[in-house]
């Protein structure tokens, strides 16, 4: 699913990058405010505890600059807020936008692809929305209901968001359906298909 996302005013999020790993950050012209969530949703979100540093496997952005693959580690705070992740991905100097990869405790992953105002998202297991803030954010972004805790794992979002980059929707479905792999291992398979393995490994060390 493709959505348009407007960035709020100000530079309050600049500090969420890890300054050791992130290259130049470019300003953009998106200064529209993100619509505030309604009060009921905000109350529900208060019940969610953020993933801790120990629970977050990684938060990495991939993009190409002058055709060359680049991977940068991003601040762990972004593993708990989809809006902030989208904003920071938009600010990266990619030739054709950027891809954000988040894995939590080996249980599930989130992929976000941002190209200008166009945003595509994929959550590997919708059931995770019962426990984790960023999974809940993705479900809300897609406008779907949170599944029951006892439901079988099922991906939601755009399985074909990386089709033009080397990972078809069939490939993605196959990777997610391999329950022997943890989510960080699934991401590594996706990264390999995207031909970013060397850069990714360097970023997550």
Per-residue pLDDT of the chain (205 residues; tens, 9 = 90+): 555 555 544 443 444 444 333 333 334 443 343 444 444 444 455 578 999 999 999 999 999 999 999 999 999 999 999 999 999 999 998 888 999 999 999 999 999 999 989 999 999 999 999 999 999 999 999 999 999 999 999 999 999 999 999 999 999 999 999 999 999 999 999 999 999 999 999 999 8
**Structural domain span for residue 21:** 2-204
For the chain, how many structural domains are there in total? 1
Largest Cα span, the chain: 46
Residue carrying the six token digits 């999020």: 13
Comparing CA positions, the residue from 119, 93, 89 lying closest to residue 101 is: 89
Beta bridge partners of 99: 62, 113
Which pTM was predicted? 0.80
Q: Please, which residues bridge with residue 98 across strands?
A: 114
Please state, in angstroms and rounded to a whole number, the distance separating the CA atoms of residues 165 and 161.
Answer: 9
Cβ–Cβ contacts within 10 Å for residue 162, how many?
Answer: 22
Distance (Å, whole) CA 106 – CA 127? 14
């Amino acid at each position: 699913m493709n959505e348009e996302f407007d960035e709020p005013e100000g530079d309050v999020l600049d500090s969420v990058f890890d300054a050791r790993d992130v290259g130049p950050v470019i300003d953009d012209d998106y200064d529209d405010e993100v619509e505030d969530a309604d009060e009921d949703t905000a109350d529900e979100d208060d019940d969610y505890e953020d993933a801790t540093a120990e629970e977050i496997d990684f938060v990495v952005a991939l993009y190409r600059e002058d055709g060359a693959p680049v991977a940068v580690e991003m601040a762990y705070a972004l593993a708990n807020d989809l809006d902030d992740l989208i904003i920071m991905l938009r600010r990266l100097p990619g030739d054709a936008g950027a891809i954000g990869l988040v894995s939590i405790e080996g249980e599930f992953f989130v992929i976000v692809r941002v190209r200008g105002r166009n945003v595509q998202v994929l959550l590997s297991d919708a059931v995770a929305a019962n426990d984790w803030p960023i999974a809940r954010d993705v479900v809300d972004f897609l406008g779907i209901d949170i599944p029951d805790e006892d439901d079988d794992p099922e991906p939601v979002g755009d399985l074909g968001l990386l089709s033009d980059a080397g990972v078809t929707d069939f490939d993605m479905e196959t990777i997610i359906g391999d329950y022997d792999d943890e989510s960080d291992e699934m991401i590594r398979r996706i990264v390999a298909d995207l031909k970013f393995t060397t850069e990714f490994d360097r970023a997550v060390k």
